[in-house]
C-alpha cells in the first residue's frame, strides 16, 4: 500500500548528528516539500508539494542551480569569466580537502595543487592507483568527430540528454559535451596510450545510444590508463609538496563550522585512530553507491559513507532511485558470490546479442541454427541494433528471461556471440580489440568466448543519483563540492556508456579548478583554534558509533545483513519496480535495520586493522540509504531511464514518462522527522522531451 504523507509542517533544522535510530525514516513521517503544504503560520508554502509529485511555482532557495542565462553554446565561457578569482599569492593561504583519488578526485587534487592551493587528499586504498576508476573498460566519449561521421558537441549533448530520458539539466550536459574535446587533449599530453589507427590518428568505436563513433579507448583498459595519467599528475604534486596524500584513511563524517563545510573526521584503517582534518573547502569524489545491492560490478570497498554523512549534515541527496543496470555482465553463478564482473559495453560493437526462440532450448549454442535464434535487439531496435542504451538493453534481456528463454544456470542469461565478427574480421582483429576482456571471461567461467558465445545478464553498475550540486558543483552545504559519480548532475535517469570517465575528468580537470575559487574569495582562511571544539564533538560522535558497533556482539555477520539488504533492493527496487514491491521494501528495511543494531557481530576491536568494523559502518549507512532509494522510487510513479515502474510503460514495454508531474530533480533533505522532498524544476529549451525511440 502507498505511504501516506505526514501532517504537513515545516521541517526542523538538520540536527548536528543522529544515532542509528534517530537518523531513520519512519514511513509515517515522510514529508514532501513543494507546493501545497502549510508553513508554521498556516500559510501556503510554495516550496512544498504533496506526495503525488505535483510541483508548485516556488523554489527552495538552496536549489538555485546557477545555470547561466543566454545561449548555451557560450554559457560556460561567460560563466567562467564572471567567476571571482583568487590571487596566486593568496591561493597558498587556502587548504582544500579532496576525498577520493579516482579520476574525479585525483584530477581535482592534482589540478588544484597545480594552481597553488594546499591540498589534502584521502583514499581508503593503499594507493591512489587502486581507485575503482581503474575498472572502467570500454572507453571515454568525446565529440572530436575524427571519423567525419556527423558528430559534434551538440550531437553529444543531444544524445546525452535523450539517453538520460530528459531528467538532466541541459546546462550541465552541454558543458560536459563541450569539455569532452579538451579531456582527450589533456590525456594525450599525459601520455595515455589511446588506440590508434594505422595512420597514427586516434581510433574510436561506438557505444550505446549513439549512431556515431566517438568513444576513445585503450583496448579494454581505458579506465586504468586514464587513472595512471591522473595518478602521474597527482604524484608530481605530492613530490612537490602541493598535495598531502593520506592512504588507508576513510572519511566517516563531515565537520561543519558556522553552517559551512570545514573539514572531515577520518579513521586510520591500520591503527584505528580517529582524527579530524580541517580545510577551507571540501571536495567529495567518492564514487557511487551501487554496493547497496550487495551484488554489483563495483569493487568490494566502494561505499556511500562519505556522501551519506554529508547528506545527514545538510547536503540534499538528488534522485537516489536513479541506478543503472548494465546489460553485459557475467551472470550470477551461485549464493556464494559476493561480486559481479562487468563485460564492457564495447563488446556490443562486434558481438550480437541473442536468445533461443523456443523456451527451454538447452542445446549447445553452436548447434542452434539462425532460424532458431532471436536477435531480439536487432529485431526490436533496427536503427541502433545491439547498441541501444543500457537501460533499454537490460530490460529487453530481462523480458527474454522472464519469458523462459534465458540460458545458463537458472535461465538468467542471454548470449553475446562473436562468431560473425570472427568470420568477417579474423581472430587477430578481435584479439587486438578485446583480448584482455576475453581472457577475463575465460578465467571466470572456464569457457572460451572465441569458440562459444559469452553468457551475459544485467547487473548493477552505476548510480546516476548522488548529492545535489549546482553548476559550480557545490552542494547545498556551502563549501562542500561534489565531483564525479558522487554527484547527480549530468546523466539524468540513465547514463550513456563511456560517459562516466568523461564526467569524472571534466569535473576534476576543468570544472572544479574554475569554480572553487569563486567560493573561496568570499571566505577567510579559518583559524585552527576556532575549529577545535567542532572537530572534537564530531570525533567523539564517530568514536561512539564505532564503540556501539563493537559492543553489540550479536549472532549475525555483517555480510549476512548486507546480503539480505541486497536481496530486498534487487527484488523490490531493481530492474522492475512496483508500488506494492516498494511498499514491501519500506516495511522490510526498517525491520532489517533494527535487527542489525541488535544482532550484528563485529569481532575484534577498533584500535587495529578491522575490516569487519569498516564493513559494519558501511552496511549501516547502506541500510539507511536503501530506504531513501525506495522512498524516492515510490514517490516517482513514472518510468524514466533506469527507473522502471511497471505500472508506467508503453504498450510495447518501454519506459513511459510523466513530464507533467515529474519533470524535476528530486532533492531529499535529511531531518530528524524523516526525509523531506525538495524539487528543482527541469527546463528544456534545446532538446524538447519526447518518447525515446531507438527503433
CA–CA distance, 284 with 289 (Å, rounded to integer): 13
Give CA–CA dist 432/525, Å, rounded.
53
Residues 6+ apart with CB under 8 A from 120: 95, 96, 97, 98, 243, 244, 246, 277, 279
Q: Are 248 and 614 in contact (CB under 8 A)?
A: no
Q: How far apart are CA 679 and CA 665, in angstroms?
A: 6
Please state, in angstroms and rounded to a whole number, the distance separating the CA atoms of residues 460 and 655: 18
Give the whole-angstrom CA distance, residue 489 versus residue 505: 14
Q: 476 is written with which cell numbers?
A: 547545498
User: Is residue 288 within 8 Å of 100, Cβ to Cβ?
Assistant: no
Helix/strand/coil for 261 = strand
Among candidate residues 130, 313, 380, 390, the one labeled active-site is: 390
323 bridge partner residues: 463
Q: Which of 227, 250, 234, 222 is nearest to 108 (CA)?
A: 234
Nearest 10 degrees: CA dihedral of 238, 224, 617, 27?
A: 120
State how far the Cα of 54 lies from the Cα of 322, in Å rounded to an integer. 19
Give the C-alpha separation, 596 to 491, whole Å.
Answer: 34
- All 3 cell numbers of residue 474? 557545490
Side-chain half-sphere CA neighbours of 337 within 13 A = 17
What does each C-alpha distance from 588 to 182, 335, 430, 456, 670 come to in angstroms? 47, 21, 47, 30, 21
Q: How far is CA 495 from CA 239, 305, 342, 498, 501, in A?
A: 36, 23, 16, 9, 11
Residues, the chain, total? 695
As beta bridge partners, residue 467 has 317, 487
Q: Which residues pair with 342 in a beta bridge?
A: 329
**For cell 533496427, what's the residue?**
382
What gap in Å lies between CA 545 and CA 552, rounded to an integer?
11
Whether 219 is a known active-site residue: answer no
Instruction: List beta partners, residue 388.
Output: none
Bridge partners of 89, per DSSP, are none
Cell 548510480 -> residue: 463
Residue closest to 58 by CA, chosen among 26, 80, 33? 33
Q: Buried b / exposed e across 31-60, counting CB within 10 Å, b at 16+?
A: bbbbbbbeeeeeeebbbbbbbebebbebbb
Give the C-alpha distances (Å, rounded to integers) separating 141 from 212, 430, 537.
11, 21, 45
CA 470 to CA 62: how far, in whole Å?
A: 9
Distance, in Å, from the CA atom of 165 to the CA atom of 186, rounded to the nearest integer, reads 30
Nearby residues of 497 by Cβ (< 8 Å), 6 or more positions away: 138, 139, 207, 208, 209, 215, 345, 346, 389, 390
Using only C-alpha atoms, the chain has a radius of gyration, in whole angstroms, of 24
Q: State phi, psi for 612 to the nearest 5 degrees.
A: -65, -40
Nearest to 407 by CA among 380, 450, 367, 462: 367
Which are the catalytic amino acids? 390
Amino acid at each position: 500500500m502507498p505511504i501516506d504523507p505526514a501532517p504537513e509542517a515545516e521541517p526542523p533544522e538538520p540536527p548536528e548528528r543522529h544515532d542509528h535510530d534517530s537518523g531513520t525514516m519512519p514511513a509515517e513521517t515522510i514529508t514532501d516539500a513543494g507546493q501545497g503544504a502549510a508553513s508554521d503560520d498556516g500559510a501556503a508554502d510554495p516550496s512544498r508539494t504533496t506526495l503525488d509529485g505535483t510541483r508548485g511555482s516556488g523554489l527552495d532557495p538552496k536549489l538555485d542551480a546557477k545555470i547561466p542565462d543566454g545561449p548555451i553554446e557560450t554559457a560556460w565561457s561567460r560563466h567562467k569569466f564572471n567567476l571571482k578569482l583568487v590571487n596566486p599569492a593568496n591561493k597558498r593561504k587556502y587548504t582544500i580537502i579532496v576525498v577520493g583519488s579516482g579520476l574525479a578526485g585525483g584530477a581535482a587534487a592534482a589540478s588544484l595543487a597545480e594552481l597553488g592551493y594546499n591540498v589534502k587528499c584521502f583514499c581508503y586504498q593503499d594507493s591512489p592507483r587502486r581507485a575503482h576508476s581503474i575498472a572502467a573498460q570500454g572507453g571515454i566519449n568525446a565529440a572530436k568527430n575524427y571519423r567525419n561521421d556527423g558528430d559534434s558537441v551538440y550531437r553529444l549533448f543531444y544524445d546525452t540528454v535523450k539517453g538520460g530520458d530528459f531528467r538532466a539539466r541541459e546546462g550541465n550536459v552541454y558543458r560536459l559535451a563541450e569539455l569532452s574535446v579538451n579531456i582527450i587533449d589533456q590525456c594525450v599530453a599525459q601520455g595515455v596510450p589511446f588506440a590508434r589507427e594505422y595512420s597514427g590518428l586516434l581510433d574510436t568505436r561506438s557505444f550505446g545510444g549513439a549512431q556515431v563513433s566517438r568513444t576513445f579507448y585503450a583496448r579494454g583498459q581505458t579506465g586504468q590508463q586514464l587513472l595512471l595519467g591522473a595518478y602521474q599528475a597527482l604524484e608530481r604534486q605530492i613530490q612537490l609538496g602541493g598535495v598531502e596524500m593520506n592512504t588507508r584513511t576513510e572519511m566517516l563524517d563531515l565537520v561543519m563550522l558556522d553552517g559551512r563545510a570545514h573539514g572531515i573526521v577520518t579513521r586510520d584503517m591500520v591503527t584505528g585512530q580517529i582524527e579530524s582534518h580541517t580545510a577551507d573547502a571540501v571536495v567529495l569524489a567518492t564514487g557511487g553507491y551501487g554496493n547497496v545491492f550487495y551484488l554489483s560490478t563495483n569493487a568490494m570497498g566502494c561505499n556511500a559513507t562519505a556522501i551519506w554523512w554529508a547528506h545527514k549534515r545538510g547536503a540534499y541527496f538528488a534522485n537516489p532511485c536513479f541506478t543503472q543496470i548494465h546489460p553485459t555482465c557475467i551472470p550470477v553463478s551461485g549464493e556464494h558470490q559476493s561480486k559481479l564482473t562487468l563485460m564492457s559495453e564495447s563488446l556490443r560493437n562486434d558481438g550480437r546479442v541473442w536468445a533461443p526462440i523456443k523456451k527451454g532450448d538447452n542445446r549447445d549454442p553452436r548447434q542452434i541454427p539462425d532460424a532458431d535464434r532471436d536477435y531480439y535487439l536487432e529485431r526490436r531496435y533496427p536503427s541502433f541494433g545491439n547498441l541501444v542504451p543500457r537501460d533499454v538493453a537490460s530490460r529487453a534481456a530481462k523480458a527474454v528471461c522472464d519469458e523462459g528463454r534465458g540460458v545458463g544456470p537458472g535461465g538468467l542469461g542471454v548470449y553475446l556471440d562473436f562468431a560473425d565478427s570472427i568470420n568477417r574480421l579474423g581472430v587477430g582483429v578481435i584479439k587486438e580489440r578485446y583480448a584482455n576482456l576475453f581472457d577475463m571471461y575465460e578465467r571466470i567461467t572456464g569457457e572460451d568466448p572465441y569458440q562459444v558465445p559469452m553468457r551475459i545478464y544485467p547487473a548493477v553498475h552505476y548510480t546516476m543519483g548522488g548529492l545535489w550540486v549546482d553548476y559550480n558543483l557545490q552542494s547545498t552545504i556551502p563549501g562542500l563540492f561534489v565531483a564525479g559519480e558522487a554527484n547527480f548532475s549530468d546523466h539524468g535517469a540513465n547514463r550513456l556508456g563511456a560517459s562516466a570517465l568523461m564526467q569524472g575528468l571534466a569535473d576534476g580537470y576543468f570544472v572544479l579548478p574554475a569554480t572553487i575559487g569563486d567560493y573561496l574569495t568570499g571566505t577567510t582562511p579559518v583559524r585552527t583554534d576556532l575549529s577545535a571544539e567542532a572537530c572534537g564533538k564530531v570525533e567523539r560522535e564517530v568514536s561512539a558509533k564505532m564503540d556501539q558497533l563493537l559492543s553489540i556482539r550479536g549472532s549475525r555477520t555483517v555480510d549476512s545483513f548486507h546480503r539480505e539488504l541486497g536481496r530486498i533492493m534487487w527484488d523490490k527496487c531493481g530492474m522492475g519496480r512496483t508500488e506494492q514491491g516498494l511498499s514491501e521494501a519500506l516495511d522490510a528495511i526498517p525491520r532489517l535495520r533494527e535487527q542489525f543494531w541488535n544482532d550484528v557481530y563485529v569481532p575484534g576491536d577498533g584500535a587495529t586493522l578491522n575490516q569487519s568494523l569498516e564493513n559494519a559502518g558501511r552496511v549501516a549507512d547502506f541500510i539507511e540509504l536503501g530506504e531513501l532509494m525506495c522512498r524516492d522510487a515510490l514517490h516517482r510513479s513514472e518510468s524514466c531511464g533506469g527507473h522502471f515502474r511497471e505500472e508506467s510503460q508503453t504498450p510495447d514495454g518501454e519506459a513511459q514518462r510523466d513530464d507533467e508531474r515529474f519533470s524535476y530533480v528530486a532533492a531529499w533533505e535529511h531531518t530528524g522527522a524523516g526525509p523531506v522532498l525538495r524539487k528543482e524544476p527541469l527546463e528544456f529549451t534545446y532538446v524538447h522531451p519526447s518518447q525515446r525511440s531507438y527503433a
